[in-house]
């Protein structure tokens, strides 16, 4: 395949309600889409870098810069020799920038699969045609407001609730949610690195609430700290930000820092590395689930395909489009009895609706060979 043109498209889509985490609050989803035009087919991907480098060191305009200055010209120079499978090794010289690498690899993979009429789900090794949906619930201004939100998601049919926590918003909201909605509800928490090693005894108090897991309590670089924490807390520790590759996943498991892993393809450099992490975990009996970065339909479609692999045994943050957006740029993903359907069409199986995409687009840049 030959890469002829790449469009970097900035879109801004309003959220149905603000989403607050321990590192900030988001009102509008600003995201970079990557649209590749090859000699054989076109492909789409969504770069999960957020507007500010707060979830990780990557951020939207930085992602566009590294794609424009380095990655796209280099892949164009490959001429006819471009394949999705060769991108990671071609760009291996560049340190980090995994979300940008993931975006260009996924867009090329989408084009390649469309050209050969294969779905991403079947290419990755999916074994399900629908996946159970969890929902991530942000930090609220009051416990009452939180309970109203959780009730609404349960009424919609979500099968698992994840509460965002931070110091000052942890034991009490978790206790009230557990007591209000009962022992059977699947419940977990995500701290997005908001705690430190001295918080072990405090976090151990969460053990009383029968949580599935505590996600990324400590700094992303503190794998040892998570291993120490795992000794003082009974609830399983699940790493998100820390796991940036299959090698790190294997090390973190070996050290006892994580017994469940959240896989986000953008964070790890793409879906191919995501499958490798899935396999590393499966070999070690470590369950995985698919994380989310508030994706639009383009990114959501690919995540749902990945979540259909066999070792994705916990519900992911693979919610319906309506969790975040009144209007998606593709056909929306909908909740059916708590599940989201795995797209079966060629490639990621969805494409943006041109008029809708145009309405949310704030800038398009075209890079040609």
Active site residue ranges? 164, 264
What is the C-alpha separation between 117 and 41, in angstroms, rounded? 10
Structure tokens at 22: 């321990």
Query: Segment contacting ligand SMG (CB under 6 A): 59-67, 88-96, 97-105, 289-297?
Result: 289-297
- Report, in Å, the least distance between residue 220 CB and ligand SMG: 11
Site residues for ligand SMG, 162-201, by CB under 6 A, read 190, 192
Which of ligand SMG, Mg ion, none sits in contact with 220, Cβ below 5 to 8 A by type?
Answer: none
The token duo for 68 is 């424009």
Residue with Cβ nearer Mg ion (230 or 350): 230
Q: At what angle do helices 223-232 and 246-254 cross, to 10 degrees?
A: 40
Per-position DSSP letters for 25-89, written without gaps between them = EEEEEEEEEEEEEESS-EEEEEE---SSTTSSS--HHHHHHHIIIIIHHHHHHTGGG--GGGHHH
Which residues pair with residue 237 across a beta bridge?
Answer: 214
Give all strands of the β-sheet with 214-215 in edge-to-edge order: 134-137, 160-164, 186-190, 214-215, 237-239, 260-263, 288-290
User: Distance between CA atoms of 5 and 1, rounded to whole angstroms?
Assistant: 12
- 240 part of the interface to Mg ion, by CB under 5 A: yes
Does position 106 interact with ligand SMG (CB under 6 A)? The reply is no
Is 215 or 273 the residue whose CB approaches Mg ion more closely? 215
58 binds ligand SMG (CB under 6 A): no
Question: Given the complex with ligand SMG, which of 44 and 71 has the nearer CB atom?
Answer: 44
Q: How far is the CB of 186 from ligand SMG (least distance, A)?
A: 15
Q: Cβ 139 to ligand SMG, closest distance in Å?
A: 11
Options 83-91, 106-114, 150-158, 287-295: segment touching ligand SMG (CB under 6 A): 287-295
With tokens 């159970």, the residue in question is: 132
* 294 binds, options Mg ion, ligand SMG, none, Cβ within 5 to 8 A by partner type: ligand SMG
Near Mg ion by CB under 5 A: residue from 58, 190, 199, 222: 190
Choose the contact partner of 317 out of Mg ion, ligand SMG, none; CB within 5 to 8 A by kind: ligand SMG
- The mark string for 111-150 relative to ligand SMG (x by CB under 6 A, - otherwise) is -------------------------x--------------
Is residue 235 helix, strand or coil?
coil
Q: How many angstroms separate the CA atoms of 243 and 237, rounded?
A: 13
- Which residue's CB atom is positioned nearest to ligand SMG? 292
Q: Which is nearer to ligand SMG, 110 or 317 (CB)?
A: 317
- Single out the residue of 319, 321, 330, 351 in contact with ligand SMG (rule: CB under 6 A): 319
Nearer to ligand SMG, 26 or 328 (CB): 26
Decide: is 294 part of the binding site for ligand SMG (CB under 6 A): yes
Site for ligand SMG in 13-42 (CB under 6 A): 19, 21, 26
Distance between CA atoms of residues 212 and 235, nearest Å:
7
Question: What secondary structure, in 3-state letters, does 74-135 show?
Answer: HHHHCHHHCCHHHHHHHCCCCCCCHHHHHHHHHHHHHHHHHHCCCEHHHHHCCCCCEEEEEE
Q: Report if residue 253 touches ligand SMG, rule: CB under 6 A.
A: no
Q: Are strands 24-38 and 42-47 parallel, antiparallel or unpaired?
A: antiparallel
Map 301-345 to HEC letters: HHHHHHCCCCCECCCECCCCHHHCCCCCCCCCCCCECCEEECCCC
Given the rule CB under 6 A, which of 79-87, 251-259, 288-296, 336-344 is the region that contacts ligand SMG?
Answer: 288-296
Residues that bind ligand SMG (CB under 6 A): 19, 21, 26, 55, 136, 190, 192, 240, 291-295, 317, 319
Residues that bind Mg ion (CB under 5 A): 190, 215, 240
């Amino acid at each position: 395949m030959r890469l002829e043109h790449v469009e970097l498209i900035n879109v801004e889509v309003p959220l149905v309600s603000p989403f607050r985490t321990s590192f900030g609050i988001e009102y509008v989803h600003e995201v970079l889409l990557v649209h590749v035009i090859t000699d054989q087919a076109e492909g789409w991907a969504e770069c999960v870098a957020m507007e500010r480098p707060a979830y990780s060191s990557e951020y939207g305009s930085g992602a566009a810069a590294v794609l424009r200055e380095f990655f796209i010209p280099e892949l164009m120079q490959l001429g006819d020799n471009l394949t999705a499978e060769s991108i990671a090794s071609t760009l291996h010289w560049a340190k980090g920038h995994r979300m940008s690498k993931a975006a260009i690899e996924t867009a090329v993979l989408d084009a390649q699969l469309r050209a050969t009429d294969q779905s991403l789900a079947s290419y990755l090794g999916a074994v399900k045609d629908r996946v159970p949906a969890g929902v991530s619930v942000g930090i609220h201004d009051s416990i009452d407001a939180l309970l109203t939100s959780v009730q609404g998601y349960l009424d919609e049919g979500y099968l698992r609730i994840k509460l965002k926590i931070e110091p000052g918003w942890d034991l009490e909201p978790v206790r009230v949610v557990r007591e209000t909605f009962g022992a059977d509800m699947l419940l977990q928490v995500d701290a997005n690195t908001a705690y430190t090693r001295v918080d072990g005894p405090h976090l151990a108090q969460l053990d009383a609430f029968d949580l599935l897991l505590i996600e990324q309590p400590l700094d992303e670089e503190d794998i040892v700290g998570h291993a120490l924490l795992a000794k003082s807390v009974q609830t399983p520790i699940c790493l998100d930000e820390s796991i940036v590759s299959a090698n790190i996943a294997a090390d973190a498991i070996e050290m006892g820092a994580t017994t469940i892993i959240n896989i986000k393809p953008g964070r790890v450099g793409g879906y191919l590395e995501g499958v490798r992490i899935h396999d590393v975990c499966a070999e070690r009996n470590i369950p995985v689930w698919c994380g989310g970065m508030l994706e639009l339909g383009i990114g959501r479609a690919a995540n749902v395909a990945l979540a259909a692999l066999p070792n994705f045994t916990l519900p992911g943050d693979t919610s319906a489009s309506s969790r975040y957006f009144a209007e998606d740029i593709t056909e929306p993903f909908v909740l059916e009895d708590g599940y989201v359907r795995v797209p079966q069409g060629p490639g990621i199986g969805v494409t943006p609706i041109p008029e809708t995409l145009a309405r949310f687009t704030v800038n398009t840049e075209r890079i040609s060979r």
